[in-house]
Structure 1
């Protein structure tokens, strides 16, 4: 093994996005160790079909070039989708003549519609690009860790070439939810993710999940797709995520309306997530409405950007009789404001149907904020006896927890969150690097570790 190359292309191109995966990528890259078990580690990006070592993840203050780079990225993603379409059609052709015609048509379209404008944009942006990264020559034995959301990228063909040149490929898997619960997503995202996972099933040598729960799901999915013999040729492991809010600064101010929310004595229950169907905000409203009818004065604070398939939920919130009285919603909180909310809320509530990890749980609990979560396997893995769990089939289950906690002042978990400890992003990044290196180097594969705190 030569070097561990940790890929962060999408975040490099879109550094201002701060939702789940982007937060993970940014923190892992910023905390990436220089080496793991004697193997050099470095952040890399795949841009314009070339490999670069990242010198600066944060963007330069050049609005024109940033806008041009964004446009170029969209054009390249469109070209990548066209490449995927061609690959499918080529595989379906049985006639050599038909394949030749398809190939010629593909090449002409690529040249006219994508090739010329993309090359021009690349040339303009190259001077700015080289201030943030430098060209890197791959070597046989390098291991490319696909940390970022590579289903959004156009790097498939380049990764395949790297693999032919002797570079190993490690896929980081955040979850399989678009495959297992496609109803929560738009059709196009499900298609893109499905194509990506089919590709990564063929391409990756090993898989690093963000929880033991997801690791086991990935192994089972590969066994279903390619059989036990081929699955046994791959390795599977996991690392856990950190808990710091890296964009929090003491200079920034807290959202005034949020700050006002915590100046009265009634308890505030905090929900932090993108607003989309999988997060189950409707269940949350049902539970709090039951609690309010029963006389609870608890308040619900929903914090998260507006996502997809949530029009009915947003209408319900905006027309709710308790809005800005016992129900509050914030769609654009900074990390500084979120830190304030974690510090002053009474509890976190997290009713997701399914998760790959549940980052707000560790963010809250590491700050001493107790958490109530849906009774799903990954939450049990993370929270153990330190969390309170409710039944997603019955919103009264959560309402009872809310009412009981307010009346007794005793959080309904078996163990006190004050005794709970978790890792930070430095340890998370180190886990990813060290476990990747060990799985590549060791034979037979090291036994799977069950907890985040294992060395």
Structure 2
């Protein structure tokens, strides 16, 4: 029987992180048993230069004890220290002289020794998550390793290469190529990490599974440019769509008081859900709503998302805005329960991103009956079809006019009703991914889910 090995290292190690990739990994892994069918699906992680089978992806009660919490905190501290060490190791004089690099490494070992000893002591006492929730796993030739998690950390490269040399087929899941196609939106360090990873994976992967048809086409074009069209054609290229369930939502948990108060007023509330960073283009939203407010609109803009990078001026603009707390609101620490509440009580979602690999908030909103307005991007057309309203990123007035039309008529300004739109759940998403790996080039069931 074919074995598919789904790599989920970072979610296992950092279960409290809840970005888009972490949400995808958690939900796909949770559906592997029901999606396996004729293949065996095995969640795995990288540790100590080998594979471990994941018995339990997220910690249970055993992870809430003080020693277990201490182990997790120390491990994060140790990882952060060595990431910082690796960054400075690239500078002069370490890059120029071998002895300087060696001295720098020894100094790092000495500085981190107390943390290393504490981790070892806790590990011997059984508080290592690898002991509690995983076990060593031996891959076999013919297995297929699906790099589902954020696998662009260089410390894993040699292990993947050794597995490939042993006859393991490598499939890379591609969420987007935005650090390559639109590098201006990223810090130099993040851009460098991703670009080095893609340079590496383009020579290691036997196939690619993207999270949308638009990304699949971009990946094929990029590989054709780098490797030549014949080499790109020898690789498998598929795509799958994502589900939308909020898996960390706690039933019955009330939303934050400030959030619930926002929806008690009669004015329409437009919801923007995403990390606050340049690519998400919140400044465009502010421009558009300022135009709408100047024309007499009473609509409210509610921004939900953690604060990211290169956004200090934007955050200051929001907090110092004359409408902040009146018609403009921002929440940076909303959990899944609060997000579910906002989706169910808002009037519409607005998503003004410059570039996306998928656009998970669109599906999360629309599947809950919340209509969406979005940038006129190919991937948004792929998701929403005629059931979304689209605006021009070069002209904030186009969004302002959509807001005013919706506010005046009560009818959402899309070509088709949201009732005509349907989407898949995470079970179907996992089936698409498994099928696309097992049957490369011809993944079944991948219709545009907004069609009827």
TM-score (normalised: structure 1): 0.90
| Secondary structure, counterpart of 1:4 in structure 2 | strand
1:178-327 → structure 2 map (5 Å cutoff): 178-327=179-328
Deviations 1:175-230 (A, max 9, x none): 00001111101000000000000000011000000000000000000000010121
Where does residue 336 of structure 2 map in the other structure? 335
Check conservation: 1:34, 1:41, Cα contact below 8 A. Answer: no
Check conservation: 1:37, 1:434, Cα contact below 8 A. Answer: no
Which of 46, 54, 74 aligns to 2:80? It is 74
Residues 360 and 139 (structure 1), Cα distance of their counterparts in 2 relative to 1, 3 Å cut: same
Q: State the Cα distance separating 1:301 from its structure 2 match.
A: 0.5
CA distance in structure 1 between the partners assigned to 2:261 and 2:72 by the alignment: 37
Where does residue 366 of structure 1 map in the other structure? 367
Where does residue 170 of structure 2 map in the other structure? 169
Where does residue 11 of structure 1 map in the other structure? 11
Q: State the Cα distance separating 1:63 from its structure 2 match.
A: 1.4
Deviations 1:225-279 (A, max 9, x none): 0101211221110111111111111232201011011111110000000000001
Where does residue 351 of structure 2 map in the other structure? 350
1:366-385 → structure 2 map (5 Å cutoff): 366-385=367-386
Residues 354 and 287 (structure 1), Cα distance of their counterparts in 2 relative to 1, 3 Å cut: same
| Secondary structure, counterpart of 1:33 in structure 2 | helix
2:26 equivalent to 1:30: no
Q: State the Cα distance separating 1:292 from its structure 2 match.
A: 0.6
Check conservation: 1:172, 1:209, Cα contact below 8 A. Answer: yes
1:92-111 → structure 2 map (5 Å cutoff): 102=98
Residues 179 and 207 (structure 1), Cα distance of their counterparts in 2 relative to 1, 3 Å cut: same
Q: State the Cα distance separating 1:73 from its structure 2 match.
A: 2.7
Where does residue 447 of structure 2 map in the other structure? 451
| Secondary structure, counterpart of 1:349 in structure 2 | strand
Residues 409 and 31 (structure 1), Cα distance of their counterparts in 2 relative to 1, 3 Å cut: same
Bigger relative contact order (CA 8 A; separation at least 6): 1
CA distance in structure 1 between the partners assigned to 2:32 and 2:337 by the alignment: 24
Q: State the Cα distance separating 1:420 from its structure 2 match.
A: 1.2
CA distance in structure 2 between the partners assigned to 1:420 and 1:66 by the alignment: 43
Where does residue 401 of structure 1 map in the other structure? 402
Q: State the Cα distance separating 1:119 from its structure 2 match.
A: 7.1
CA distance in structure 2 between the partners assigned to 1:147 and 1:37 by the alignment: 19
Check conservation: 1:33, 1:430, Cα contact below 8 A. Answer: no
Count matched residues: 437
Tell me whether 23-32 or 328-337 shows the greater mean CA deviation: 23-32
What is the RMSD computed on CA atoms of the aligned residues?
Answer: 2.5
Check conservation: 2:382, 2:448, Cα contact below 8 A. Answer: no
> Which runs of 5 or more residues in structure 1 are unaligned?
90-97, 440-444
Where does residue 93 of structure 1 map in the other structure? none
> Which runs of 5 or more residues in structure 2 are unaligned?
none
